[in-house]
Structure 1
Amino acid sequence: MSAPLLQTRRLGVSFGGVHAVREVDFDLAEGELRCLIGPNGAGKSTFFKMLSGQQLPDRGEVFFRGRRISGLAAHQIARLGIGIKTQVPSVFDGLDVLQNLHLAALRAQPSERAARAEAHAVLERVGLAGRGDARVGELAHGQRQWVELGMILASRPALVLLDEPAAGMTHHEVRKTAALIREINRASTVVVVEHDMAFIRMIAGRVTVFNRGEVLAEGSFDDVVSDPRVRDAYLGNKPIHSSNQETDHA
């Protein structure tokens, strides 16, 4: 078996004596699409922030391709080939869509010409071909999110970390975002923190459930939603709608 792309060992952090994350062991394989779920305060977002360098751990380690990255700043982690999308889009509002994609493509392409070609190709792939010259700050919420996902596509990171990419979107936008994430997963390993269970059903290959700072369960979508421990801790009696129904925010 090949070594994990990303790995944590006994990773944890506490705030004021409260264990937000308790010594979590986590393995992520190359090419995987993993979703992190759990109730509010379960520790999943804090765990995500430790992977991306936004939060320093108190204990334990994070490894990326065998290299220890825990303790590095977020920009240092990004330079290793890890793309990060937070809940607030990190885009250049004063530039147009194509300029944003071009800047991202420059990180991965060998020349200016290649970067321009990649930017135009990604513009088509994210469904914004008619909005290339639109200023990003003037776009609707969902379109701004797609610009950032397009920037991730253009920069071709090995690992993509996405924090609630479907938040605040309409049902149509959610379905398109799911398709974009699957597109990103064709070339990159992906970790998604999300609350929307219908959205997770659309994209998840494997799901990790956090509760009280620990991993409660892990497996396929069907495995975790049928697990009595997960239902008691997180889902309760909420219905899990299919992908052709309106989304249910858990």
Structure 2
Amino acid sequence: MSSALLQTHALGVSFGGVQAVRSVDFNLEEGELRCLIGPNGAGKSTFFKLISGQLRPTRGDVYFRGQPIAGLTTHHIARLGIGIKPQTPSVFDGLDVLENLRLAATCREGRHSARQLAIEVLGRIDLENHAHRLVGDLSHGQRQWVELGMILASRPRLVLLDEPAAGMTQAETNITAALIRDINAEASVIVVEHDMDFIRRIANTITVFHQGGILAEGSFEQVTQDAQVRDAYLGREVVNA
């Protein structure tokens, strides 16, 4: 077995005979930050759902720290040390910011320690002035930051983020990029994203999906200059990426 933190072997899923993801071999090392890109329908979001437990694979294996996790529920996978952020924020709108963070921290800490950790995380997401505001009253970007804070408070080994910058202003996107880098100082990270400018700022390595499989992997510069990637996904826009 590989020493990779997360590994998939021949992972795939089919819907009505259509292979949405086909035989993907993927490795993520400790401390790595990986971005998944590709055109719509390429399989990247489906792959994300397979490794996060939102979908059950038709074939293949997923290993986290050497333990098979294919087919486990999202809740079970999260308890193993994987923080999962789907596209839609999964927060408690009827509770204030601090209480959302405290609840997330109780997964790893006792009651008193959870509150102290929540206060610490509150500063890291720069929402101290909003500690007692209901999350449902916050802006879209702030609600996203609360969820990133909840992930930080659960102290995961691996963080899975599905389009974390979607719908944000440029200023909010800049803060989100910094938060993801902050998370990566403590955990490995996989990000599914479309915004190439955002990816340029956070990515160490990029995996490009196309037609249900991996087309290319490498640094931002390597991927954006790859002729196959330009033809399949980036096109002429790569010149200005």
TM category (shorter chain) comes to over 0.9
Residues 171 and 240 of structure 1: CA distance in aligned 2, closer, same or farther (over 3 Å) = farther
Residue by residue over 1:46-89, the C-alpha shift from the partner in whole angstroms, topping out at 9 and shown as x without a partner, is 00000000001110000001111001111111111111000100
Letter in 2 for 1:222: E
Take 2:98 and 2:25, find their aligned partners in 1: how far apart are those partners? 40
The DSSP-based 3-state class of the residue aligned with 2:231 is helix
Q: TM-score, normalised by structure 1?
A: 0.94
| 1:198–1:240 CA contact under 8 A, matched in 2 | no
Aligned to 1:245: none
Does the CA contact (< 8 Å) of 1:198 and 1:241 recur in 2? no
Rounded Cα–Cα distance in structure 2 between residues aligned with 1:239 and 1:21: 25
Equivalent residue number for residue 207 of structure 2: 208
Runs of 4+ that moved beyond 6 A: none
Task: State the TM-score, normalizing by the size of structure 2.
Answer: 0.98
- What root-mean-square deviation, in Å, do the aligned CA atoms of Structure 1 and Structure 2 show? 1.3
Cα deviation 1:176-231 (Å, max 9, x = unaligned): 00000000001111000000000000100100000000100001111000001000
Written as runs of structure 1 = structure 2, the 5 A alignment for 1:1-250 is 3-109=3-109, 111-239=110-238
Residue 78 of structure 1 aligns to a residue whose secondary structure is helix
Distance 2:198 2:156 in 1: 23
One-letter amino acid of the structure 2 residue matched with residue 17 of structure 1? G
Deviation of the 1:17 alpha carbon = 1.3
Give the aligned length. 241
Percent of aligned pairs with the same residue? 66
* Separation of aligned partners in 1, 2:105 and 2:58: 35
Following the alignment from structure 2 to structure 1, what is the Cα–Cα distance between the partners of residues 239 and 85? 26
Q: Which residue is equivalent to 1:246? A: none
Report the alpha carbon displacement of residue 240 of structure 1 after superposing the two structures with TM: 6.0
Deviations 1:86-115 (A, max 9, x none): 010000000000000011111122x22211
1:137-183 alpha-carbon deviations (Å, 9 max, x no partner): 11110000000000011111111000000000000000100000000
Structure 1 residue 239: deviation in Å? 4.5
Alpha-carbon shift at residue 122 of structure 1 (Å): 0.7
Q: Cα gap change, 1:179/1:18 in structure 2, threshold over 3 Å: closer, same or farther?
A: same
